[in-house]
């Protein structure tokens, strides 16, 4: 029998990257609101994913990007204070972005400080060509040593099982928390 694992996972990513959509796909029920408008989710939402061999508690962290103005250092610091408590970080980025945005570079700088295992999730792969996805993966890999890079389409439920699997690899052996 496999040992049971559990832990906290923080979901970070710029506004509109698809955090709420991914969360919905992962828990398979509507727990967060998704709309094309930005910044609709203002509070951190916890989702509990109960699997056969694991319990994953996810925190949505829309606070990484409050408002349309430039990302301030204080805002990032606040978000990352929360992140220090988690076992795994999911960093969600949009595959349709032409290159790594300044905001995402700033997030990567913070990731280097917190020293937690990070899974890079490349979302919206349904919108871009395969070779472009590979290019994006490589440019991110140049910036940071991610535990894994997982291309997904949150809206099509593509790659979700891989995320769960990679999270489970990184969680400690521990009983159910909630
Ligand atoms: N084509 C495509 N669109 C997606 C995908 N995932 C999310 N979207 C769309 O992207 C938009 C933003 O998605 P959200 O899930 O609301 O993004 P968010 O990161 O929660 O945004 P905030 O809460 O504002 O920070 C919505 O219109 C989604 O339908 C995907 O895999 N493919
Ligand atoms: Mg959201």
Burial classification of residue 144, based on how many CB atoms lie within 10 Å of its CB (0-12 exposed, 13-18 middle, 19 or more buried): middle
Long-range contact set of residues 69-74: C-beta below 8 Å, sequence gap at least 24: 71/103, 71/106
Which ligand is the nearest neighbour of the Cα of 90?
Answer: 1
Q: Is the Cβ atom of 17 under 6 angstroms away from ligand 1? A: yes
Considering only the top CATH level, what class is 5-170? alpha beta
- The pLDDT tens digits for 58-106 are 875 645 554 445 556 666 666 666 676 789 999 999 999 989 999 999 9
For the chain, domain boundaries: 5-170
Q: Is the Cβ atom of 79 under 6 angstroms away from ligand 1? A: no
Lowest mean pLDDT among 6-10, 13-17, 68-72, 135-139: 68-72
| DSSP track, 82-100 | HHTT-SEEEEEEETTSSS-
Q: Is the Cβ atom of 78 under 6 angstroms away from ligand 1? A: no
Give 153's strand partners.
158
- Do 60 and 45 contact (CB within 8 A), yes or no? yes
Q: Is the Cβ atom of 63 under 6 angstroms away from ligand 1? A: no
Does the pTM exceed 0.75? yes
- Closest-lying ligand 1 atom to the alpha carbon of residue 39: 24
Burial classification of residue 102, based on how many CB atoms lie within 10 Å of its CB (0-12 exposed, 13-18 middle, 19 or more buried): exposed
Task: Measure 17 CA to ligand 1 centroid, in angstroms.
Answer: 5
Helix (H) or strand (E) holding 9: strand 5-13
- Convert 130-170 into a string of H (helix), E (strand) and C (coil): HHHHHHHHHHHHHHCCCCEEEECEHHHCECHHHHHHHHHHH
**Token reading at 94:** 């949009």
**Token reading at 156:** 């099509």
- The pLDDT tens digits for 39-58 are 444 445 468 888 889 989 88
């Amino acid at each position: 029998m496999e040992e049971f694992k559990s832990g906290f996972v923080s979901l970070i990513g710029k506004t509109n990257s698809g955090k709420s959509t991914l969360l919905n796909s992962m828990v398979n029920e509507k727990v967060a609101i998704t709309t094309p408008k930005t910044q609709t989710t203002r509070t951190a939402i916890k989702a509990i994913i109960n699997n056969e061999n694991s319990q994953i508690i996810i925190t949505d962290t829309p606070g990484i990007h409050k408002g349309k103005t430039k990302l301030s250092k204080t805002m990032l610091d606040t978000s990352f204070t929360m992140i220090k408590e988690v076992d795994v970080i999911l960093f969600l980025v949009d595959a349709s972005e032409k290159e790594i945005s300044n905001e995402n570079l700033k997030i990567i700088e913070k990731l280097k400080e917190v020293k937690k295992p990070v899974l890079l999730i490349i979302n919206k792969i349904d919108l871009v060509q395969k070779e472009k996805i590979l290019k994006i993966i490589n440019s991110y890999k140049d910036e940071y040593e991610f535990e894994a890079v997982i291309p997904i389409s949150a809206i099509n439920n593509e790659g979700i099982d891989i995320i769960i699997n990679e999270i489970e690899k990184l969680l400690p052996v521990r009983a159910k928390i909630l």
